Amino acid sequence: MLRSRAGTRIRKRRKREDVIKYVVVGRAGGRRLIIKSHLNSHPSTTSTRHTTQRLDTTSPPRKMQRHLKETRGKRTTIRYIKHKLLPRSRPEFEPVYMMQSTMHAAVLNSGTQIPLLGLGTYKLRTYEELYKSISAALDAGYRAFDTAAAYGNEAQLGRVLRELLPKHGLKRSDVFLISKLGPEDHGPRAKEGCLRSLQQLGCEYIDLYLVHWPGVADLEPTDPLHAKYRSQSWAILEELYDSGKIKAIGVSNYTVSHLLELLGSCHVPPAVLQMECHPKLVQKQLREVCKEAGVHFQAYSSLGKGALLEDPEVKDLAGSRGRTPAQVLLRWAVQQGISVLPRSSQPQSVQENSRIFDFELSNKEMQRLSDLNCDTRYCTRDSTSIR
């Protein structure tokens, strides 16, 4: 029998078929040990029950204390142990890391701060386009910039930042760079892909590096190799994270099943999941799983590729608040702790999109926008079919 100071009992079990995997991720609120568990049934069974439980204790059980420093944020397996559940009146789960949002940033599970507002650069490929947009963004207070190997603009973006940062009295460490591993670099080539991005950007490190897509280029959606290459890619990202070349790692376009698969096998949990999200695609289930696991949710296409700017409900609400439709849509996201990456090649729009931290939407207004949800995707590619 194990017993913590607070009296939480943990009984040993001697059934070979039961294995509980705990991800020790630290404390929330200074007192509660948050532990993610996966109860795996007999190896012949394919089903896995994914739950998050909490030990309400001032001190973890002694046999687990020695694991904390070594496995914080990593996956460890403790066999034949079952923990006592909390009373049902308590919440079933809570965020592992409360997204301690300041006005402009959230804290990731890696300890890194991520700005809630960043500039997306998809389709901004020329030096002139990037220079104009990034210059306006820096003037407006943006400190995060999102790119990807697939965008084909990493080299130009790096060049523009090297030219503009000194003019704004800023250093490399003052901005947050996000890039992504291309689908063609999945698996054994992942390290080569990341190092190529570092070289293109002209940086010693990348603040956040994401697996851009859960699938491998040129494979059929149902090909079982997708899962194998995803696992290999993540293992390489973990190595690069440990080396310091990447400050935080995450994923993009992962569905609930892809995310749970990763959480059940990783040593370093993803810090961020980036996905299309806006009032017509609220991603409720995916965001709930991210919240359970302490994964920060980041939205792209927050404006629905411009289509939502013409939505009657959005325009009416924006008009009643004296705001632009874009500001209302972006505020809907950041008010929920979701970071956003609006893209624009027009300096005026870039600056207008930054003015989202000086007002709040009421609960009624937030619900009015959320009620627009109809699972409409404006990005043509859909990752739900990827095995």
Per-residue pLDDT of 259-284, as tens digits, reads 999 999 999 999 999 999 999 999 99
Q: Residues 286, 264: contact at Cβ < 8 Å?
A: no
Pairing of strands 249-252, 272-276: parallel
Fold classification of 105-385 (topology level): TIM Barrel (3.20.20)
DSSP 8-state class, residue 295: P
Q: What share of the chain is helix, strand, coil (3-state, %, to 5)?
A: 35, 20, 40
User: Which residue numbers are catalytic?
Assistant: 151
Strand partners, 211: 181, 251
pLDDT tens per residue, range 126-161: 999 999 999 999 999 999 999 999 999 999 999 999
- Domain positions in the chain: 2-83, 105-385
* DSSP states of 40-106: E--TT---EEEEEEEE--SS--HHHHHHHHHHTTEEEEEETEEEPPPPTTS-S---SS-----SSEE
Whole-structure pTM over 0.85, yes or no? no
User: What is the C-alpha separation between 272 and 294, in angstroms, rounded?
Assistant: 9
User: What is the C-alpha separation between 250 and 372, in angstroms, rounded?
Assistant: 29
pLDDT tens per residue, range 21-64: 344 333 333 333 333 333 333 333 333 333 333 333 333 334 33
